[in-house]
Amino acid sequence: MNLNGKKVAVLGCGRSGVAAAHLAAVHGAAHVRVFDSNPQAVCADATVDFVGGATEKEARDFAADLVVISPGIEADKPWALAFTCAGAPIIGEMELAFRYFSGRIIAITGTNGKTTTTALIEHILLHAGRSAKACGNYGYPLSEVVLEDPQPEFAVLEVSSFQLETIQSFKPEVAVWLNFAPDHMDRYTKVNDYHEAKLRIFENMEAEQIAIIRVGEKIPDIRPRIVEFSAYEGSGLLRYEGTCIKQIDTIVADLKDTALSHAHNAENAMAAILACRAVGLKDGQIVPALADFEPPHHRCELVEEKQGVLWLNDSKSTNLHSTEAAIRSQTRPVILLIGGKDKGLDYTPLLSTMQGKVRLCIVFGQIAKQLERTFSSVYETICVETVGEAVQVAASRATVGDVVLFSPGTSSFDQYKSYAQRGDDYCQAVRKIFHI
């Protein structure tokens, strides 16, 4: 991609936007300017030419040759389109970075499990002595990785539907499709639009490349070779039985004493094993790395085990499918703490998953009343306002052998800045109960 002498407009002043601006400048762009429509936006890098509260007129006046858009900004809205008045194409930060990356890319998408799988693949590669960096929607923007000297051999790239909307030539060597469930209905008008955006991960791949896909996913005909796995179905190259990942009747890995033994994390482990095999690693290099891997925080992590009750923090659960997976993986009676922002999702499908697992629901946040109406006819449901109140009620009702599962099933933005802040609040509330 020849940027020599070009004017580049970067939309969004977050970390990925700043990284894209630096990357464009390094590769010869004559003028790079970062724009944000928010008048309160502040660019953390004072060396970047930045305009906050940018108007459509300022967009047109800049007359960009190329527009690089951050994932959180919708490319088909009037403000973004105003930057294309001189005929400039719009690409995403990931697409820009891909064109300058000389290494190998393993890309991971799915509604849930992306971050854990991304971190695990990076962990395995590093354990095997390969240079790798987890990036994309997790960790570093790909543009920052491309600016490293030397670049790592592998970019292990968590890829969201938002990033895939604006690809043109992006083509991973290995693509992992973990799962799909309705999400982001505040961005997409139809579930199919969300599905189609995610499917773009396979769009430019060739027959010699590999797609690693969970059994039962609705995937159309694609060019790369498909390898399947599943913890819940009896088919696929890898399957989960007891605590063991098996290939036919051969044990590949026993997850009993690892942090990956829950079924949803076993699926992440199977996907990671297959991805690392696909880039040339042997099981003898892969399996030992599973033993000391710790999943990222807020993903079914153990907070405390007190008085015979297990307290789990799954604040990263921001959609129905993630909560479904967390419930399904439990083997003890569940007190479910669920709630948060109203994203327009229907929680009725969760009722069948809860059967035989959940004995009490505690609902909170903006969506609490809707959840109470959905669950109360089948399960005892208690409605509260805050996470702290939910923890107090759970503590008063939990008995020996229970698991208190904090799996909100929607985003945190009704009461918190992020799922991480929400998870931290939950952990603090639990520890306060036990004076820890």
- For Cα atoms 71, 76, 77, give the angle at the middle one, nearest 5 degrees: 95
Token pair, residue 230, equals 């599943």
CA distance 161 to 71: 9
Chain centroid to Cα 327, Å, comes to: 19
* Rounded Cα–Cα distance for residues 221 and 227 (Å): 14
Q: If you ran DSSP here, which 8-state letter would residue 296 be given?
A: P
Catalytic residue set: 114, 137, 184
Please identify which residue in the block is written with the tokens 């985003």.
Answer: 411
Query: Which residues face 336 on adjacent strands?
Result: 361, 405
In 3D space, the residue among 228, 138, 246, 243 whose CA is nearest the CA of residue 179 turns out to be 228
DSSP 308-375: TEEEEE-TT--SHHHHHHHHHT--S-EEEEEE----S---TTHHHHHTTTEEEEEEESTTHHHHHHHH
